[in-house]
């Protein structure tokens, strides 16, 4: 559930990490990044940041652009706090460049989610508006209901941030 820790998932991720060992593999990078996100409500920012730093370092070492883009996307949307705003912006921008080079619309969608959140969190309303519009278009193009829902959530978040209660009410 959103906003709650999932102990079973955390245990499963930790078991998977133990099973694959300490080797620097794509699987390890992805598992570490996922665990970092799952610990949002179960650990400190420092622990999550350390896991994510390790995940990013391994992903860079592995050299698979999709893995790096995926890990960067997870780093860009987990543990969003003011002190890591610039790092989140950079992660989203790098992942977006990777997604565009691969032509991967799903990777691009997640990169733009991180970009939207970083822009809005940093008070960059123009970039947030642009990202939100592109997210809506991507969600329609990809056709996944969950992406359409998330794009709608971000639209409402944007409208709330700019105080457009009229359009916000239309979306409700």
**Which tokens belong to 50?**
């350390």
Alpha-carbon distance of 102 to 70, in angstroms, equals: 12
pLDDT of residue 81: 84
pLDDT of residue 77: 67
| pLDDT tens-place string over residues 42-94 | 899 999 999 999 999 999 999 999 999 999 999 876 777 888 899 999 999 99
Looking at per-residue pLDDT, the higher value among 171 and 164 belongs to 164
CA dihedral 21, 2, 156, 132 (to 10 degrees): 10
Q: If you compute the radius of gyration of the chain from its CA atoms, what whole number of angstroms results?
A: 16
Which pTM does this prediction carry?
Answer: 0.92
Looking at per-residue pLDDT, the higher value among 156 and 4 belongs to 156
| pLDDT tens-place string over residues 102-130 | 999 999 999 999 999 999 999 999 999 99
Across the range 138-143, mean pLDDT stands at 98
pLDDT of residue 22: 96
pLDDT of residue 71: 98
Count of C-beta atoms within a 10 Å radius of residue 39: 20
């Amino acid at each position: 559930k959103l906003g709650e820790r999932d102990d079973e998932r955390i245990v499963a991720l930790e078991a998977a990490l133990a099973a694959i060992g300490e080797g620097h593999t794509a699987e390890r990078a992805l598992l570490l990044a996922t665990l970092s996100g799952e610990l949002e409500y179960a650990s400190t920012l420092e622990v999550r940041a350390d896991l994510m730093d390790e995940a990013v370092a391994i992903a860079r070492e592995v050299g698979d652009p999709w893995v790096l883009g995926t890990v960067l996307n997870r780093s860009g949307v987990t543990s969003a706090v003011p002190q890591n705003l610039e790092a989140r912006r950079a992660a989203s921008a790098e992942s977006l460049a990777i997604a565009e080079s691969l032509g991967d619309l799903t990777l691009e969608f997640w990169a733009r989610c991180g970009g939207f959140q970083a822009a809005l969190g940093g008070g960059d309303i123009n970039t947030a508006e642009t990202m939100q519009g592109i997210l809506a278009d991507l969600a329609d193009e990809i056709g996944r209901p969950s992406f359409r829902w998330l794009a709608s959530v971000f639209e409402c978040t944007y409208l709330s941030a700019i105080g457009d209660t009229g359009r916000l009410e239309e979306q409700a």
